[in-house]
Structure 1
Amino acid sequence: MFSKVCKTLFAIVLSVASAYSQQLVPPIQSYSPNTYGGGSQNWEIAIDDKGVIYSANNQGLLVYDGLSWELLSLDTQSIIRAVYPFNNRIYTGSYNEFGYWSRNDKGQLVYRSLSPLMKDLNLRSDEFWQIISFKDDIYFRSFGAIYKYANNQIKKFTSINCTALETFKGHLVAAEGSQGISFFNEDGTKAETMADFKALQGKKIVDLKKYKDSLYIGTTDNLYIYSGDKLRSFPDPLIHKLLSEFELNHLLILSPNEIILGTLKNGIIHYKDGKVNLYNRTSGLQNNTVLGMHYAHHKLWLALDKGIDAIDLHSPFSFYTDKSGEIGAVYDIASYKNNYFIASNTGTYRFKDMVPEQIENSQSHTWNLELINGDLYANHNAGTFKIVENTFEPIDTHTGSYCFKEDQENKGKYLLCHYTGLSFYDPINEKLEDLKEVNFPVKKAVFDSDGSIWAAHPYEGIYHLFRKNDTTFSKIEKLPGLDGKANFSPQLYKVNDQIIVYLNTKWYKYNPFKGKFEAFKEFSKYNNCRLVYAGKGEYFFVDERDESVMYTDLKNSNILLPSDKFGDRLVKSNEKFIRENDSVFLIALNDGFARLNINKLKHRKEREWISTPFVINFSDGYRSYSLKEKPSISYPDSKNLAIRVGMPDSESSFLHYELSGDDSLEGDARKGYINLRNLNHGDYKLELSSMLSPGIKANTTAFNFHIQPPWYLSSLMKFVYILLVITLIAIMYWFNQQKLKKHQLQLETKFEKEHQDRLNQLEKERLMHEIDIKRKELANTTMMAAKKNEVLMEIQTELSKDKNKFSNQFRLKHIMNKINKAVKNKDEWKVFETNFNEVHEDFFKDVLKEYPKLTSKDLKLCSYLKMNLSSKEIAPLMGISVRGVEVHRYRLRKKMKLSSDVNLTKFLIKNF
């Protein structure tokens, strides 16, 4: 008997020791008091139907909508001890106070105290630690009594020392501290039970939880199961052992085979299928004292003595974190002989029972681990080594090495890439042969299908090595820069028998027919993304912009892992995913490593719970608007709209919004707020979408609002504008009519003027014609007079020559006088002058005005010159000789002060 007890105790001790060892833990998201802006202690935590988190905090009620935290305090500033969401209300309990919070039409949580309904029921310094619902009624539990809220009335249900409440098979079950448990009917009377609860006598019951037909009863040091007829202790003695040491505080039953035990001293105990995992401060919790728990949508939420944590219990990811920092950044992982081996920047480590121990002489940077023929090799800063037991056996120590690559043409032999070039390694004969023609460092190499080798220099680009035989080359060719850029730090791969390169954020593939690299269109959607794993039709990419990870099979399966999945823990520029088996990948981190079950991830994605985003509050900076009707915002108040949105914690990556209307906007609302500035007036629709990955929406909700037009575009002003337009049209019409009349008058005036001008022109033409006729008549008359005078003067001359021949001299003299009178006939001059004035009006007046000293004889000469008569023609008219005319012209020129080079005739014709 004693031997059997010892064996049992020994097995328990071994189990507990195993539980204490380092382990791979699921993702833990921590929210510190600084993060949520409240007190350190959180007494209870709960989740409503939408997925919103509520925590009973030292400073009030904490609300987490998945994007932002909000702290709501009671007027009394009391500590809230209990929280319970039910039927769109959040019931809370505190010191001498209980009530509920509900959202008003503006989306704000408003508190209503139920304490005034107590009336004659005096509270005796009670603090309310638990709230539950039973048949749609609400029960508030303090340590001294239970109160029932129904039909807007508060009644004391019973007065007992109660430490836990639960409902079970139509009864309200109350734990009475160390006095066992009691079953109550709806009216407050105790119900009889057939079970014997003596085993609970003297044990402090801290929690009760039902699961289907069983009631689980947790004491500080053990767990019991009541099935309706009998009470039995939990079958696994390890639970009793652990609780005796760590002290139970809260209980969650996920299934009969999976139980969560929250302790006061060492975090939580996760019991599943006979296996135990402990999650405490060593695992990543902020505190070891668990005051409250709630499980929903794969996550276990913990209300801690300091902070709030969320554990993704069934995550496809699990993590090993080196909190000491001794291991450093991990560059490669290998599973070898049932142990993990880690290559890091501080050396090589073997994990034995998940406890790391450094391989002897492995200090310094280890780049890569390679399994070759059942042996494990390390590419190290000091050379190349084989790992035997817990030591480094040197293969080559003349230079550091990066990696191995098996020769496709000589299976069983490996190309070794190292700091000074390339070498061939024969693992069977342990023979190493340098390729002396390659005298530059090679970080990675791949074999082309023609047997040639592509080699990536760590800094200077890519080389193409054409083999002559196994160890010599016919040609070594350095590739020119791609897209005109230098080939710094290229990443070289062979995918589906194609040589591809990632360089300067773009993907290229080698075209053997053209003998050059060209854009790799199949991978264009992964520009800006490094390839960190390729094999068996599966690929992992890391986005350089935000360190998010994309899993794809390049067909139908695409899964985005947001950057917060790894929390900036990937080794930047040296990210590495290693396949452990068909379903599990190992991921190198800068402080440990992670394990990913890809099948589990795919299965979760198929059944994942995606929350629906919603609007919490809509305000313009001055006031909030009702969410029960379409908000209508005045134009002046619409310049800076603030919309608080929520998207309860789920598998979706982020919240995306799209605004449609007169203005269009879109973006992400990762912090829970959307600010819309300077929108035009009109109707708008805001769509909120929970996104699985960029471009892939899960759930969408819409919110509509209206921005009123500015005052100058209001209905009244539009009516005024219509009146103004009508008035303006009338004025314009009147002006146009006036303008038309004016234009018509102008046309008439113009027509009359043109008509008059035409008449004047005709009159002028008639007068000109008459003048021409008169001018001709004047010329003819003048010429006739000149001819007459010329004839008379010739006669006079002839008579003068033969005057002595005349007998009657008196008679001759009389004839001569008559001829003189005929030549100098004043009447003829008057007739000439009259006719001349008709043709050349104002000529004499203008000449006299300019030259007032001219005589009548001078004017007569001027008139003849005006008619363009020659001296010979003028002489008879003036009754003088041609010589006399010339003399007269000379004198006239002097009187008019004209130089000899001025033509007197032309001067008179032009100027008078």
Structure 2
Amino acid sequence: MVRYFLAFLFVLLTGVQCLYAQLSYQISNYSVHEAGGGNQNWDISIGKNGGIYVANNYGFLVLENSTFDLYKLPEPTIFRSVAYINERVYTGSFEDFGYWEEDETGTLQYHSLAASLENRNMNNDEIWKIVEHQNKVYFHSFGSVYCYDIESEEVYRLNAPGSFMFLYMAQNEIYTQQIQGMLYKLDNDEFIPIERSEFLQQEEVTSILDLADNTLLIATSEDVYMFDGDTFQEWQAESLDEVVRNRINTMVKTENYIVIGTILNGLYIYDLNFRLLENINRQNQLQNNTILSLAVDPFENLWVGMDRGIDYIAFDTPIHPYLEEPDGIGSVYAAALHNNELYIGTNRGIYGYKRDENGNFYDKTLIPNSQGQVWFLKELDGSLYCGLNDGTYLLEDNELTKVGSIHGGYNLKRYPGSNPDLLLQSTYSDLVVYQKEEQIWSEAYTMTGFQTPARFLEFDHIGNIWLGHTVKGIFRLQPNIQLNRIDQVREIGVAEGLPQSTNLVFKMNNRIMTSISDTLYQWDAINEQFVPYHDLDEYFTVKESVSNIIPVDEQRYWVIKKSEILLFEIYFNSISLVYRMLPDMYNFKQVERYENVIPLNENLHLISLEDGFAILDLDLVNKSKYPTPEIHLKSIKVTDSRQVTSFVDPDSPTEAIFGYRNNTIHFNWSANQVAGNRAFFQYKLEGIDNKWSNWSTDTSFNYLRLPPGNYAFTVRSIAPNGILTDPVSFSFTIKQPWYLSTGAYILYVILFLSSVLTIRLYLSRRRWKALGKELEKNQQEIINDRENAEKEIVKLNNEKLQSRIEHKSAQLASNTMAMMRKNNLLNSLKDELLKQQEELGEKLPGKYYRKLIKLIEDGIEDEYEWEIFEQLYNEAHGDFFKRLKDTYPQLTPSDLRLCAYLRMNLSSKEIAPLLNISVRGVEERRYRLRKRLEISTDTNLTELIMTF
């Protein structure tokens, strides 16, 4: 048994090989990270309401309302099997099995059944399969089969004749294969061998499927057989050898398909006539080639559990993507359905596809000599024309015939009005006119008067030609009657009402249109101005520029944005939305700046993509079985400024009012979308947001630090058929803080009035205080003026006194100089008299000589002069003699006289004549003066006297 189990695991973990095939079904990928579990997804079961339950390496995954939840047991274990049965989810793992039920909060709780086994000993058993039959649930491992009787709640081990491979439910019976043995049927807890199944002893049964007419499809390690209850015969199906070689692991049947999951190469899809339709693997969107489990949901779509990841394949969808590898057909720019074959124009050439009776396209072929950029494919009068980089061609029987030589045929349109036999083409350079000869349209001539590369080409109601230059903007051309020359060229821009230049030119409802930013503009032919066109604004859900408008017929138009594609029906002024699609819902990437939807016929429309294309069947849109999802606000979490969190019941009938501190609010929502169809949401908070958010799969949003006010949070979703759901709203109020409440405002008014009164009182007191200060100031100024006057008087007296002193000093100096000159003169006379007496001798009588000498000496020592000098000196030097005598009373009059002369800074030589002594005599007196003043030789005598 262990050997077979190890062999089984080896097959599961064997490496993968990839084959390329064309994908024609919509696939949604859920990565390991996105699902939140481990790598392997061993089993899948579908619940009553479309919930998805997955047995995973990390635990038990539940997908409801577009979000995954992971459940685990206390002990880490791998879940190998899962089955939804009668409101319970049964799971099997290592040495344990049981069921999960919701508690009162909606959370699944586990109840072990293995714990009820008598003498519980599961001998390392892992439960790999769970099936229900006749109100009993059977749990299979490679060593044992256990049974749980739902009515009696008894749990027991079956008596089995050996070890068995998996259990399979088919035709309301349980089938299994004994390891290296026959096929058995499990009936009333008994294993009954199937006759004529002995040949399976050399093969390993890997899956059993219930076909119509009581026939089983049995897949083994070596072949696939059909069993009608009596005989076995090989299944006759296309490419069966390839399928078996890639190791069949599981099979399921939908309403229209048989799906086989392999270990090495993904999925093989057969129709009910056993014709192979598709091989889906890693090369065309499947996440992994190792298929571990399959399950069909109520809408006949397929869930795929793989070695890494979970995928959802929708068969019942109006949109069928045909996506390619990076080196596939390239970016799609043009398409046409011609003679029941689909032709695709890309940046790599033209590809042709055949179409089967089911409407699927297959057998891709590159048209010879078409390599390069393809700008348009158009059927005209039953023939297919193509605009290529090097010219324009007619495509017949997969062969190209050149009908136009001008490079870069962007467009080819029938000229309106009275010229039905003329076509006009915009190219990389010229405007080219085509005419029909022998049932074939071909280049006739080029129009003169204007030459420019123009991608967009339209005609207005009076025959003017509108061109969208690839760079420079919009031009309106007026041709002559013969349509061979452009007579008038007008560049259309800001002067014609546009906010800025653009090169987009469309035509809708017989009006010339353009688009700038998130606004459409319509040409007003009367005023010759572009005016904003808002009739479609209410239908748009994203604020983006319209990149293209494609007419389907006279009333229907595709309006294309980067994030939104809409189909409108416009009849006069009546507008209705037919269909809306979000490219992100299908992981579509439109060709940037060349977004395009191409009508193939009334119902089929092709969406151009960067890596292929998608076919939209409008007839299937109207027949969609998917219900419109309903949105539910799951939780509202309120956090205050202190990070304290509380929860609010979204369904509470009472009005939600939050304190001003509770201003961070987290909203969480979900939609009862069919599991597998990714739910996209838009939300806004009225009071904060001016527009809806961008579409996203987010199911929560956090508003931080909201200001006080009234708010309404609104969220909406979109159904796969493009219908918007009814929005769900939650209104709430964040109260003003207490300091902004009504009572607070009343208090503020009272405080304001009190403040006004207080301020007025304060100002009044301040004014009286200011008046008192002004009075004090005036009085002080009077006092200051009086003091200043007195000071001025004193100053004037001092100045007068100083002037007088200066005058006395000048008199003193003059008197001193006069005394010096007089004494010098008298001393000179005395000296001359002495000299004459010596010379004359007796000739000069002594009597006269002595009289003259006495007169001279009396003149030198004139006391009157000294008194005058002393008076002037005291007046000039402030009682100098008195102050000096008071300080040094021991001074003699001659000392005082010497001090006076020293105070005048006179030298000894100058002092000598004043004292009528010699210079030496002056020095001797100075010496005696020092003695009396008792000063040392280091002290400057003159400087000391100068201090008095």
Kindly indicate whether residue 231 of structure 2 is the aligned counterpart of residue 205 of structure 1.
no
| 3-state DSSP of counterpart to 1:111 | strand
Deviations 1:621-663 (A, max 9, x none): 88997999979999888955564646442658534679999x9
- How far residue 291 of structure 1 moved from its aligned partner, in angstroms, is 0.6
Deviations 1:405-445 (A, max 9, x none): 11233223211112223121224274431111123333232
Q: Distance in 1 between matches of 2:703 and 2:696?
A: 12
Deviations 1:80-99 (A, max 9, x none): 11122334433221111223
Q: Distance in 2 between matches of 1:683 and 1:473?
A: 61
1:320 to 306, 319, 322: 322
Kindly indicate whether residue 560 of structure 2 is the aligned counterpart of residue 552 of structure 1.
no
- Contact 1:222/1:239, CA 8 A, preserved across alignment: no
1:529 to 546, 555, 559: 546
- Contact 1:526/1:541, CA 8 A, preserved across alignment: no
- How far residue 681 of structure 1 moved from its aligned partner, in angstroms, is 12
One-letter amino acid matched to 2:78: I
| 3-state DSSP of counterpart to 1:80 | coil
| 3-state DSSP of counterpart to 2:50 | coil
- How far residue 292 of structure 1 moved from its aligned partner, in angstroms, is 0.2
Q: Distance in 2 between matches of 1:113 and 1:192?
A: 32
1:417 to 402, 420, 426: 426
- How far residue 562 of structure 1 moved from its aligned partner, in angstroms, is 1.8
Query: Structure 1 568/393 Cα, relative in aligned 2: closer, same or farther at 3 Å?
Result: same
- How far residue 591 of structure 1 moved from its aligned partner, in angstroms, is 1.3
| 3-state DSSP of counterpart to 1:445 | strand
Query: Structure 1 638/519 Cα, relative in aligned 2: closer, same or farther at 3 Å?
Result: closer
- Contact 2:404/2:443, CA 8 A, preserved across alignment: no
- Contact 1:223/1:239, CA 8 A, preserved across alignment: no
Kindly indicate whether residue 570 of structure 2 is the aligned counterpart of residue 570 of structure 1.
no
Q: Distance in 2 between matches of 1:106 and 1:626?
A: 15
- How far residue 447 of structure 1 moved from its aligned partner, in angstroms, is 2.8
Partner of 1:773: none
- Contact 2:566/2:579, CA 8 A, preserved across alignment: yes
Q: Distance in 2 between matches of 1:684 and 1:106?
A: 29
Range with bigger deviation, 122-131 or 239-248: 239-248
Q: Distance in 2 between matches of 1:452 and 1:21?
A: 50
Partner of 2:606: 586
Partner of 2:719: 692
Q: Distance in 2 between matches of 1:80 and 1:534?
A: 54
Partner of 1:214: 214
Kindly indicate whether residue 616 of structure 2 is the aligned counterpart of residue 596 of structure 1.
yes
- Contact 2:585/2:678, CA 8 A, preserved across alignment: no
| 3-state DSSP of counterpart to 2:589 | coil
One-letter amino acid matched to 1:354: D
Deviations 1:675-727 (A, max 9, x none): 466799999999876533899555888999x9999999xxxxxxxx9xxxxxx
Partner of 1:539: 557
Q: Distance in 2 between matches of 1:702 and 1:452?
A: 50
Kindly indicate whether residue 336 of structure 2 is the aligned counterpart of residue 334 of structure 1.
yes
Query: Structure 1 366/208 Cα, relative in aligned 2: closer, same or farther at 3 Å?
Result: closer
- How far residue 535 of structure 1 moved from its aligned partner, in angstroms, is 1.7
Deviations 1:474-506 (A, max 9, x none): 433333437743553333233343333334433
Range with bigger deviation, 686-695 or 71-80: 686-695
Deviations 1:714-767 (A, max 9, x none): xxxxxxx9xxxxxx9xxx9xxxxxxxxxxxxxxxxxxxxxxxxxxxxxxxxxxx
Deviations 1:28-75 (A, max 9, x none): 112222332332221112232333322222222233335433333333
Q: Distance in 2 between matches of 1:252 and 1:280?
A: 17
Range with bigger deviation, 669-678 or 442-451: 669-678
Q: Distance in 2 between matches of 1:664 and 1:468?
A: 51
- Contact 1:106/1:618, CA 8 A, preserved across alignment: no
Partner of 2:414: 406
| 3-state DSSP of counterpart to 1:564 | helix
Q: Distance in 2 between matches of 1:343 and 1:330?
A: 6
| 3-state DSSP of counterpart to 1:402 | coil
Partner of 2:840: none
Range with bigger deviation, 283-292 or 320-329: 320-329
Gaps of 5+ in 2: 1-17, 355-361, 751-948
One-letter amino acid matched to 2:558: F
One-letter amino acid matched to 1:579: P
Q: Distance in 1 between matches of 2:98 and 2:645?
A: 27
- How far residue 172 of structure 1 moved from its aligned partner, in angstroms, is 4.2
1:82-481 paired onto structure 2 within 5 Å: 82-149=81-148, 150=150, 151-159=152-160, 160-167=162-169, 172-186=174-188, 188-190=189-191, 197=197, 200=200, 202-210=202-210, 214=214, 216-220=216-220, 221-224=222-225, 229-233=229-233, 236-238=236-238, 240-255=240-255, 258-274=257-273, 275-277=275-277, 278-296=279-297, 297-325=299-327, 327-336=329-338, 339-350=341-352, 354-357=363-366, 359-360=368-369, 362-387=370-395, 393-397=401-405, 399-408=407-416, 409-428=418-437, 430-459=442-471, 460-481=473-494
- Contact 1:659/1:685, CA 8 A, preserved across alignment: yes
- How far residue 128 of structure 1 moved from its aligned partner, in angstroms, is 0.7
Range with bigger deviation, 243-252 or 101-110: 101-110
1:390-789 paired onto structure 2 within 5 Å: 393-397=401-405, 399-408=407-416, 409-428=418-437, 430-459=442-471, 460-481=473-494, 484-485=497-498, 488-525=501-538, 528-536=545-553, 537-544=555-562, 547-554=563-570, 558-604=578-624, 607-613=625-631, 639-641=664-666, 643=668, 645=670, 647-648=672-673, 649=675, 653-655=679-681, 670-675=697-702, 690-692=717-719, 698=725
| 3-state DSSP of counterpart to 1:354 | strand
Deviations 1:879-907 (A, max 9, x none): xxxxxxxxxxxxxxxxxxxxxxxxxxxxx
- How far residue 574 of structure 1 moved from its aligned partner, in angstroms, is 0.8
- How far residue 127 of structure 1 moved from its aligned partner, in angstroms, is 0.8
Range with bigger deviation, 46-55 or 336-345: 336-345
Query: Structure 1 486/379 Cα, relative in aligned 2: closer, same or farther at 3 Å?
Result: farther
- How far residue 515 of structure 1 moved from its aligned partner, in angstroms, is 4.1
Alignment: residue pair count: 689
- Contact 1:462/1:487, CA 8 A, preserved across alignment: no
| 3-state DSSP of counterpart to 2:84 | strand
Deviations 1:116-152 (A, max 9, x none): 2224031011111112233444321111222122444
Gaps of 5+ in 1: 1-18, 713-720, 722-727, 733-912
- Contact 1:67/1:647, CA 8 A, preserved across alignment: yes
Query: Structure 1 207/708 Cα, relative in aligned 2: closer, same or farther at 3 Å?
Result: farther
Q: Distance in 1 between matches of 2:730 and 2:109?
A: 22
- Contact 1:166/1:210, CA 8 A, preserved across alignment: no
One-letter amino acid matched to 2:32: P
One-letter amino acid matched to 2:551: A
Partner of 2:836: none
Query: Structure 1 446/354 Cα, relative in aligned 2: closer, same or farther at 3 Å?
Result: same
Q: TM-score, normalised by structure 2?
A: 0.63
Q: TM-score, normalised by structure 1?
A: 0.65
| 3-state DSSP of counterpart to 1:500 | strand
- Contact 1:644/1:674, CA 8 A, preserved across alignment: no
